[in-house]
Each structure stands twice: as C-alpha cells, then as structure tokens.
Amino acid sequence: MKPIQLRYLLSVTGYSYEQASKEIGCTKQSIYNWVTGRTTPSIMAESILRRWAAEKQIEVPDEDDIEEIDA
C-alpha cells in the first residue's frame, strides 16, 4: 500500500494514527512511517491493512486515482 492510499484510508475512516494503530495492531510510529513514505508496510502489514479496509467496506483506489491528501 502506497502512502497516498494509506492517507486515503485514514481520511475516509477519520481515524488518527493512534486509533488506526490500535485497530490493526501496530504502533502509531509505524503508521506515521508508512504515511510519510519513510518505510513501507511489510507484506503481512499490507494484508492486514487491506483486510481492515474491507471490513470497513472501503475500497482503496489505485494511487493514480487519488487526489493528494494531507496527512
């Protein structure tokens, strides 16, 4: 999942880094690192993020289909 896609997901849910980290079971520092592009989610973390989005009935668009969102 690209940073813009994660920003989209957080924007749609209205979740803070802390709220999202509690929901998916990681640190808020990890969320921050992923959103800023400092690091990328592992394959397992990306799978969890996509499952979390699906549970919330959110379809995460391709990165090219998202307008820039401020983190």
Q: What's the CA gap between 18 and 28, in Å, rounded?
A: 5
* Residue listed under structure tokens 């995460």: 60
CATH of the domain at 8: 1.10.260
Distances (CA, A) of 57 to 28, 49, 61, 69: 22, 12, 13, 20
Instruction: Work out the mean pLDDT of the chain and round it to a whole number.
Output: 92
pLDDT at 68: 66
42 falls within a domain = yes
Domain region containing 49? 3-65
Structural domain tally of the chain? 1
pTM, to two decimals = 0.85
Q: What's the CA gap between 68 and 45, in Å, rounded?
A: 23
Q: What is the pLDDT along the chain (71 residues), one digit of tens a residue?
A: 999 999 999 999 999 999 999 999 999 999 999 999 999 999 999 999 999 999 999 999 898 888 766 55
44 falls within a domain = yes
